[in-house]
Amino acid sequence: MAQDLLEVKGLTKCFPVYSGIIRRKVGEVRAVDGANFTLERGRSFGLVGESGSGKTTLGKMIAGTYMPTGGSIVFDGVDVTNAIYNRALKRRIQMVFQDPASALNPRRRIRDTLLDPLKIHNVGSGQAREKLVIEMLERVGLSQEFQYRYPHELSGGQKQRVAIARAVITHPDLVILDEPTSALDVSVQANIMELLKELQSEFDLAYVFITHNLSLVRNVSDKIAVMYLGRIMEYGQTDAIFMNPKHPYSVALLSVIPTVSDEEEKFLPELMKLSGEIASPVNLPKGCRFHTRCPKRFDPCDKIEPEPTWHDGHELRCHLYTADSLPRAAPIGN
């Protein structure tokens, strides 16, 4: 087996909660709690979950904008957990944000925006950089006169193309895409996804794809993790999870996807409705974090938190699958 590009082990991020006049620390929000996964070079990993499930926090830790509280991140064989000021590393891990309108500086022309990463990482010089910018613009489907425009002169899809160009121009190994298309129309979204796929095979990029749109993740990811309140509830190959979801939360999420054809409807698991809303991350429910909304909860669910177990190629945190006969979770990557 080829060496994994990214290996995340027990990654945890806690945000302190302050209260009172002297801003005393009264508690903490465990935004991400013990996340494990691996990602091979040139592959895509999808992180799905509702808002507040910690998927963006996890992405930001990998990108190096948040310092993890615990756990480790191994990137290309090197432990980079605390290397958030490592510039050479940042060249290799880039990020694309959700809202292209606010991710680009409105006062700078597109070429200035695209030249920045080259200057920061000392790629090429003068003319060579300008040539690279033009090449990259054409690669993402924009003609070269776009380099003299300002972001407000571009449509949403074009802005996102620029944002992608900015991320890919330094030839990174890993790109973190935080809801890259949720601000765009479906027809534009399809074009952007097409572009991302082309770039992936051309530059051998690995993607961490953060989204709440399950149908989209199905089309782009090799592996996915379903997150709920900071925990990865189910983790495995995309096909395995979509064909045969195990965790009640994944089943429920899949069953309510709005579909556009009967063929798709047949594909979905039997309808399972969730009641209520995501619990507060400050006062986490005891036991399994999902038990307050789970239609299949039973005796141990509100007392003991399930440990991850392997079951049919899925890694699950659910008491339905933690019978004693099942093996304990193998460490990821072995």
Partner 1 sequence: MFNYEEGHMTTANTLLKVQELSISFETFEGRANVVADASIEVARGEAIGLVGESGCGKTITAKAILGTLPQPPAKIGSGRILLAGTDLLALTPRERREFARHFSFIPQDPMSSLNPVFTVGDQLVNVVLWRGRPDFGLGRYILSRRQRAEVNQAILESNEMLRKVNIPDAERILSSYPNQLSGGMRQRVLIAMALLGKPSMIIADEPGTGLDVSIQDQILDLIKSRVSEEDISVVFITHDLGVARRICDRIYVMYAGTVVEVAETRFLFASTKHPYTMGLLQSVPKVTGKMGKGIPGNIPDYYHPPQGCRFHPRCPHRMDVCDKQRPPLQQLPEEKCEHKVSCFLYQESV
Q: Which residues make up the interface to partner 1 (CB under 8 A)? A: 50-51, 155, 157, 185-194, 212-216, 218-219, 239, 242, 252-254, 256-264, 267-268, 273-274, 277-278
Min separation Cβ 159 and partner 1, Å: 12
Q: Is 287 exposed, middle or buried (0-12, 13-18, 19+ CB in 10 A)?
A: middle
CA distances in angstroms from 183 to 145, 152, 159, 309, listed in the order given:
25, 15, 11, 36
Min separation Cβ 30 and partner 1, Å: 19
By C-beta, is 113 or 238 nearer to partner 1? 238
Number of H helices, E strands in the chain: 11, 12
Min separation Cβ 76 and partner 1, Å: 29
User: How many whole angstroms separate alpha carbon 229 and alpha carbon 117?
Assistant: 34
**DSSP β-bridge partners for residue 310:** 315
Min separation Cβ 184 and partner 1, Å: 9
User: How many whole angstroms separate alpha carbon 225 and alpha carbon 334?
Assistant: 18
By C-beta, is 63 or 104 nearer to partner 1? 104
CA angle 189, 192, 197 (to 5 degrees): 125
By C-beta, is 66 or 209 nearer to partner 1? 209
Q: At what angle do helices 110-120 and 156-168 cross, to 10 degrees?
A: 20
By C-beta, is 127 or 187 nearer to partner 1? 187
By C-beta, is 6 or 214 nearer to partner 1? 214
Min separation Cβ 190 and partner 1, Å: 3
User: How many whole angstroms separate alpha carbon 198 and alpha carbon 220?
Assistant: 12
Min separation Cβ 308 and partner 1, Å: 23
Sheet order of strands, 44-49 included: 93-96, 174-178, 206-211, 44-49, 223-228, 231-237, 314-316, 309-311
Long-range contacts for 135-139 (Cβ within 8 Å, ≥24 apart)?
136/165, 136/168, 136/169, 137/110, 137/162, 137/165, 139/165, 139/199
By C-beta, is 107 or 266 nearer to partner 1? 266
Min separation Cβ 62 and partner 1, Å: 23
Min separation Cβ 280 and partner 1, Å: 10
Min separation Cβ 144 and partner 1, Å: 19
By C-beta, is 5 or 232 nearer to partner 1? 232
Instruction: Specify the pairing of strand 314-316 against strand 231-237.
Output: antiparallel
By C-beta, is 262 or 324 nearer to partner 1? 262
**DSSP β-bridge partners for residue 38:** 7
User: How many whole angstroms separate alpha carbon 317 and alpha carbon 231?
Assistant: 9
Task: Look at residues 210, 219, 201, 180 and name the one whose alpha carbon lies nearest to residue 61.
Answer: 210
By C-beta, is 277 or 307 nearer to partner 1? 277
Residues making up the chain, counted from first to last: 334
User: How many whole angstroms separate alpha carbon 100 and alpha carbon 240?
Assistant: 33
